[in-house]
Amino acid sequence: MGRLDGKIALITGTGGGQGRDAALLFAKEGAKIVGCDLKVEGAAETVEMVKAAGGEMVSMAPLNLSDEAEVKKLIDFAVETYGGFDILYNNASGCRFGPVTELSREDWDFTLDNELTLIFLAVKHGAPVLEKRGGGVIINTASVAGMTGAGAMPGNVPGGLAHAVTKAGVIAMTRVLACELSPQNIRVNSIAPGLILTPGLEPLVGDPESPFRKGYMNAQLIKRVGLGEDIAHCALYLSSDDASYVTGANFVVDGGLSAAGGAGRAEVPTNTDAISSLSFN
Ligand SMILES: NC(=O)c1ccc[n+]([C@@H]2O[C@H](COP(=O)([O-])OP(=O)(O)OC[C@H]3O[C@@H](n4cnc5c(N)ncnc54)[C@H](O)[C@@H]3O)[C@@H](O)[C@H]2O)c1
């Protein structure tokens, strides 16, 4: 018996990273998966991986979740394929970094659109589907960057302003949605990952000797880099009936980073240029 037997899970951003790990774990636990991503190749690869492991998954790509018409297309696709879904896991996001005086209006707007608005749109059009099935689960991906003043960068390096603002917004949005959607029997929680090794962060974190990684290792209580599976296991718990008494909460999965004061306390010098030019999309 899987923990998600009979459930349909719509997971966004399944083209790699944490979305792929969640698709693999949820499918192993019995869920049928609807995925999507901007990345065509990565999204198709995930479908193949899930199927090769004996699971069931469909996906739409390229699909841009910051475009309302595309979000509606995705929801319709899930309804046409499986009749609806029970779990909406808002994992996808894209953001741009830069110190406040250098951050362009375009980069600011891009980050809001691709980290915050895309969740609003998915919930706006996805919640009625959950309601029709008698209830369900929404998980929103926040970040420790939304909890700590330094944007969770080692050495208080500037650059995480827009990202920190949107992720704090995700945590706030989760609480409000939990209140608003509880009469419809929909539980809404967020997960705030710390440093997680995904393909996008490989250049900064892959090398154990990189100052960026060392900064985090100094600041964390658990001295290893987080993996996509660490987050997927938290999402699995929140999606399952084991969490039937849990809503409106923010689950921090960060190796103790925020409990110990956040990465801003790390004293290892960090390559500011590398961080300022970060862009995930
Ligand atoms: N990796 C970390 O250290 C870390 C830390 C804290 C929070 N997070 C959050 O975890 C989540 C997953 O990120 P990840 O680490 O797996 O990174 P990732 O970049 O590998 O995955 C994000 C995926 O979302 C997709 N995506 C982005 N914008 C999209 C859009 N508009 N429409 C459709 N797809 C879109 C990307 O193409 C990508 O495949 C994100 O919300 C991220 O902010 C990551």
Domains and CATH numbers, the chain: 8-280 (3.40.50.720)
Average pLDDT over residues 206-231: 93
Choice between 237 and 159, residue whose per-residue pLDDT is larger: 237
- Which ligand 1 atom sits closest to the C-alpha of 231? 10
Is any atom of ligand 1 closer than 6 Å to the C-beta of 39?
yes
Q: Place 204 in a pLDDT band, splitting at 50, 70 and 90.
A: confident
Is any atom of ligand 1 closer than 6 Å to the C-beta of 11?
no
Is any atom of ligand 1 closer than 6 Å to the C-beta of 93?
yes
Average pLDDT over residues 82-99: 97
Q: Which bin fits 159, alpha (ψ -120 to 50), beta or left (φ > 0)? A: left
pLDDT at residue number 148 = 87
Look at residue 51 and tell me whether its pLDDT is greater than 90.
yes
Q: Place 155 in a pLDDT band, splitting at 50, 70 and 90.
A: confident
pLDDT at residue number 212 = 86
- Which ligand 1 atom sits closest to the C-alpha of 167? 43
pLDDT at residue number 5 = 98
Of 37, 59, 60, 93, the one to substitute when testing ligand 1's pocket (max ligand atoms within 8 A of C-beta) is 93
Tens of pLDDT, residue by residue over 156-166, are 778 899 999 99
Distance set, CA 249 to CA 101, 110, 137, 187, 188 (Å): 34, 27, 13, 10, 8
Q: Is the separation of the CB atoms in 158 and 108 below 8 Å?
A: no
- Which ligand 1 atom sits closest to the C-alpha of 205? 3
Look at residue 93 and tell me whether its pLDDT is greater than 90.
yes
**3-state DSSP call for residue 23?**
helix
Q: Place 154 in a pLDDT band, splitting at 50, 70 and 90.
A: confident
Distance 6 CA to ligand 1 centre (A): 27
Look at residue 238 and tell me whether its pLDDT is greater than 90.
yes
pLDDT at residue number 156 = 74
Average pLDDT over residues 179-194: 98
Distance set, CA 106 to CA 34, 77, 95, 137, 237 (Å): 31, 31, 11, 33, 37
- Which ligand 1 atom sits closest to the C-alpha of 199? 20
Residues 6+ apart with CB under 8 A from 189: 137, 138, 139, 140, 174, 178, 238, 243, 246, 247, 248, 249, 250, 251
Is any atom of ligand 1 closer than 6 Å to the C-beta of 276?
no
Q: Place 272 in a pLDDT band, splitting at 50, 70 and 90.
A: low
Q: Place 271 in a pLDDT band, splitting at 50, 70 and 90.
A: low
Is any atom of ligand 1 closer than 6 Å to the C-beta of 62?
no
pLDDT at residue number 67 = 98
Q: Helix, strand, coil: what percent of the chain each, to 5? A: 50, 15, 35
Of 25, 71, 205, 280, the one to substitute when testing ligand 1's pocket (max ligand atoms within 8 A of C-beta) is 280
Average pLDDT over residues 2-19: 98
Is any atom of ligand 1 closer than 6 Å to the C-beta of 94?
yes
